[in-house]
Every structure is written in C-alpha cells, then in structure tokens.
Structure 1
C-alpha cells in the first residue's frame, strides 16, 4: 500500500499503517494514534506520528477532517462522504455521500479549482 502511494515503507510507517488500517474505517487523531503506538511498543514520537499522518494524507491514503480549526482527525475512508461530529464525545461519524445535498456551490477564485467539499454536521444528545 505504501509503495503504491509513492511512500518508502519504513519500519515506523509500516507500524503506524498497521495500527491505522487493521481496524477498518476509522477517524483518529494524532494523539490517539500515538497512544496506540506506545501501547503496541512502537518507538515513535508524537511529531513523527503527525508527520506520517500528513504524508499519508498527501499520498491520498487518508483524509484530513478539521473540526473548528483546533481538532483534526484523519479518516481512513478516502471516498467522498461527509461527517457528523458528536460534541461532548469528540467523535466523528461518517455520513454517506448522498446523505447531504449541496444546493449552490460558488465559483472558485480565478486560477483555482474546487477539489472537494467537506460538510461537518455538529450534533449532541437532546436535552
């Protein structure tokens, strides 16, 4: 998988990829992946985890899901879809691509093209 994406399969990348993809599609933060790596005795720093997640994203192996500009999750499902963010649980859940309709899309600024549209719907338990 790593070679196919143009990445050299170092020990750390392979170990982090196994942690990321062995549990099916998921949304994970760098901090949680780092905790999983520590528990699995993978010798890796938090900075290396961040760098690896960004490299995987650039290579098309992950999607970055930004919440409020302060929380970032990485999604192993790279196909078109949207997300619910469950407040209070800090959890991200997939919405099928056809579960959201976009009525009007603005034209991109001159010289730019729209790459994709990400919708994050924030939810919480009813009070």
Structure 2
C-alpha cells in the first residue's frame, strides 16, 4: 500500500496531518508489507521501537487510518479486531487458538445469492472470515 510513497505524503494525500505519532505508527505498520495487527500488537511494537504513544492514541490512529482508507478493519469477534494493511478486496482465515489472521490466497471464495439490500441502501463489500482451529 505505502511501498514507495513517503509516509508523510501518503498521510497528507488522504487528508491526515502527519503528526509525529501518526508518522511513527504508519512507519511501523507499513514497513513490513501486508500484515494484520490488533491495536495491542501495534502498541507493543511501538513500545519496542521506543515510540512514546498510549494505547488510546494507537486505537484512535488506527481508526483514523481506516476511515481514510489506509487500513481495512477485520472484525473476528465482538471485541477482537485486526487492522489489515492490504485494502484490496480479499477474505481471511482466523486461527482461533492462536488469535492470528491471514489472507485467504487467491480467488477461492465465491459469494452468490446475496439478499437484496434494504431500500435506500447498497451492498458495499462482503467480508468472509473462515474460522480455524488446530486439530486435536
């Protein structure tokens, strides 16, 4: 997503002011290719990188990045949300006993026979999360 465009430019391009904390978090998020992180994961990486940021700021920044189209939110449970740096249309596997999300490779999910959207609404996207568990 942000491979060649400098982080500051990318933030400005989507209408976000490139504050020190936003730039630092964006560099952590987007410097390792496509990945899926929870707010807690990003906060831990920021602490390791000695970026002084609170967990609340991480949540706010992730939500701002998502609203601006830089991230895609992947909800796997009521309170468990991951943020995906790959904003292209794709689906996910979720490994329950590892709390891990990864992309379903290729076009292996077919969606058909969707119900019509309620009046005045349109379907924007369909997200599929296939839940996995290690065999026992």
- TM-score range normalised by the length of the shorter chain: over 0.9
Question: After the TM superposition, which segments of 4 or more aligned residues of structure 1 sit over 3 Å from their partners?
Answer: none
- Provide the residue aligned with 2:43 in structure 1: 34
Q: Which runs of 5+ in 1 are unaligned?
A: none
- Provide the residue aligned with 2:22 in structure 1: 13
Q: Does 1:109 align with 2:104?
A: no
2:57 to 17, 32, 48: 48
Distance 2:30 2:23 in 1: 10
* Cα drift, residue 96 of structure 1: 3.6
State the TM-score, normalizing by the size of structure 2: 0.90
State the TM-score, normalizing by the size of structure 1: 0.96
Q: Which runs of 5+ in 2 are unaligned?
A: 1-9
Distance 1:44 1:8 in 2: 17
- Provide the residue aligned with 2:76 in structure 1: 67
* Cα drift, residue 126 of structure 1: 2.1
* Cα drift, residue 97 of structure 1: 5.6
CA contact (8 A) 1:80 1:97 kept: no
2:102 to 89, 93, 105: 93
Secondary structure in structure 1 of the residue aligned to 2:57: helix
In terms of fraction of residues, the more strand-rich structure is 1
